[in-house]
Amino acid sequence: MCGIIGYWNKELEAFPILLESLKKLEYRGYDSFGFATSFENKLLTERQVGKVSSAKCPILPGKIGIGHTRWATHGKVTEKNTHPHRDCSGKIAVVHNGIIENFQELKNSLLNKNHNFLSETDTEVISHLIEEKLEQGMNLKDAVIEIGSLLKGRNSFVVLNSETKEIIAFRKGSPLIVGITKENGTSEVFIASDIQAFLDKTKKVMYLDDNQIVIIKENPEFYNVKTKDKIEKRLIKIALDTKDAEKGDYSHYMLKEIMEQKETLAKAINQNDKDLMHVSQEINNARGVFFVGCGTAARVCHTAEYIFSKIADKHVNFIPASEFENYKHFLLPETLVIAVSQSGETADVLEALEIAKQRGSKIISIINTQSSSIDKISDYTFLIKAGPEKAVASTKATTSQIVVLILLAYACAGKLKEGERFLIDVAGKVNDMLNPRYEEHIKKLAEIIYQRENIFIIGRGINYPMALESAIKIMEVSYIHAQGFAGGELKHGPIALIEKATPVIVLVANDDVRQEIISNAIEVKSRGAYVIGVSPENNPIFDYWIKTPDVNGEASSIINLVAVQLLAYYLGILRGHDVDYPRSLAKSVTVK
């Protein structure tokens, strides 16, 4: 949530590089964006409301600078609330990611000292606090250390002092990574919220950890905020490829990522058997297993209850990460907490894991981003290897996460090989399913229903959490009101909303609840619903049938979801929305 970039070099103009880098961070928030550079020791800034990718910006001169793309928390979406935020002297600029929980108290004391605030943001207190420290004669490094420690909550920020040409970053909570390139005698140093920002320039990185600062210069210097000691960091060469994060021939990342499921499922199956067996033993021996995640990943955690019950005869619990604290008294050293997350940076998940750590419980994670904060806090990590997911609405990461859950459940049941064979068959069926004719058939359905105001989705068993996830997908990108229900719950309220031609998507599998979900479909059909069957077999009550490959048991969740992802995509397109960057959402939610 919010993208940060900083850039230092001695020869090149910084602005074009900052601009291109910031565009790659747009998925982190796109309410507004801004830049600051240091030119002839003066601070120059440019800030605009809207998306950086579609903006026309005057070029700011200068060889060093910072940039920010905002997802608004404190203060409306206006130019004056756009980062960077300056101090009264006009030489300090700050970009920030997080929420300063004690900002009002800090702001009041600064107002008493006659600081002039230009925005409604919490961020601006950082600029004025630094100004205070510099006026007291402190150097920027010590000022950043002192102020970083003063801020309550999860806060990472980068400060530019235009007069001294210094850039210093502080990290607590949300990620900041340093990238370094040294070519033909020219050094360039980046600091960014995500490697993607500078991946086309360098793959050599150093990770800033919590409660550390880094001085951005030719040889970046890292310090521990608590001890003030200098820290030696290893330069790590990462293996990511920029091509994976580009749209290629696709019009949208979302469509590209849906189609990539032809390959990503197979990659997710390819885990280390020893690790799976080891973790499955931990699951079998644990006193309580809790799955935690947010948003779509929370729906994946919900499927875990069905997957482990059906495949491994094992009871596990699902808790939305934001509610986890309420359950902390159940956590023992023998308890296992399993986090599911695409980004590995979601604030609520991290907080849940910090609680688990304090209680001595073991942490396992199923994530897509190596070296992310969740990776670092985990005792064991399974990477889903889905490649970069850029569209805000998660698609390929979701199905890969379900694959890893199914594998783990088979391992718990002592049938890992059987599970692998089964999933390879499922991956093959998804590969066959995602063909142009199939896409066309789903697009036709979207053309029939895209102007409706409400869409309901029902499922039973594992297709109940998938009905909830389907609703998220449709809402996110089409802004149609969509709601998922357990088939049996429909008549306890929601059925009152079914009118003539209300679309109801029925997620069907050839499982033991097949007949019951068809009965629920008949109930809504009697009230005039337009019934859309996502099912291996046709049925006379379906007004529209989306045929799905017939797979056994819990993998129907993957198959049914892929069909609905495509439908959501076309609903969004037909309603004229920016499906990759839906309004008010962000890909990486690093605030609570």
Distance of alpha carbon 59 from alpha carbon 95, whole angstroms: 19
Which range in 270-278, 337-345, 511-519, 562-570 contacts ligand G6P by CB under 6 A?
337-345
User: Does 255 help bind ligand G6P (rule: CB under 6 A)?
Assistant: no
What are the E-state strand segments in 127-285? 155-161, 166-171, 176-183, 186-192, 204-208, 212-216, 221-224, 230-231, 236-237
Name the β-bridge partners of 458.
485, 506
Joined tokens for residue 366: 């199923």
User: Does 394 help bind ligand G6P (rule: CB under 6 A)?
Assistant: yes
To the nearest whole angstrom, how small is the minimum distance from the Cβ of residue 28 to ligand G6P? 10
Q: Please state the separation of Cα 210 from the chain's center in Å.
A: 19
User: Does 295 help bind ligand G6P (rule: CB under 6 A)?
Assistant: yes
Among 140, 197, 225, 297, binds ligand G6P (CB under 6 A): 297
3-state DSSP call for residue 531?
A: strand
Which range in 54-62, 108-116, 534-542, 581-589 contacts ligand G6P by CB under 6 A?
581-589
To the nearest whole angstrom, how small is the minimum distance from the Cβ of residue 373 to ligand G6P? 11
User: Does 343 help bind ligand G6P (rule: CB under 6 A)?
Assistant: yes
Which range in 18-26, 218-226, 293-301, 492-500 contacts ligand G6P by CB under 6 A?
293-301
User: Does 97 help bind ligand G6P (rule: CB under 6 A)?
Assistant: no
Q: What secondary structure letter does DSSP report for 129?
A: H
User: Does 179 help bind ligand G6P (rule: CB under 6 A)?
Assistant: no
3-state DSSP call for residue 337?
A: strand
Q: What secondary structure letter does DSSP report for 119?
A: S
- Catalytic option among 201, 473, 525, 587: 587
To the nearest whole angstrom, how small is the minimum distance from the Cβ of residue 349 to ligand G6P? 6
DSSP 396-455: HHHHHHHHHHHHHHHHHTT-HHHHHHHHHHHHHHHHHHSSHHHHHHHHHHHHHHTT-SEE
To the nearest whole angstrom, how small is the minimum distance from the Cβ of residue 296 to ligand G6P? 3
Distances from the Cα of 231 to the Cα of 147, 227, 234, angstroms: 19, 10, 10
Nearest to 559 by CA among 490, 477, 470: 470
User: Does 377 help bind ligand G6P (rule: CB under 6 A)?
Assistant: no
What are the E-state strand segments in 217-361? 221-224, 230-231, 236-237, 289-293, 317-320, 336-341
Indicate if 24 belongs to the active site: no
- φ/ψ of 3, rounded to 5, equals -110, 135
- Catalytic option among 2, 88, 294, 412: 2
Contact track, ligand G6P, 43-82, x by CB under 6 A: ----------------------------------------
Rg (CA), the chain: 25
Residues in the interface with ligand G6P (CB under 6 A) total 15
Indicate if 226 belongs to the active site: no
Which range in 76-84, 184-192, 388-396, 522-530 contacts ligand G6P by CB under 6 A?
388-396
- Closest to ligand G6P by CB, 538 or 584: 584
Binding site for ligand G6P (CB under 6 A): 294-297, 341-343, 346, 349, 392-394, 585, 587, 589
Q: Which residues are catalytic?
A: 2, 587
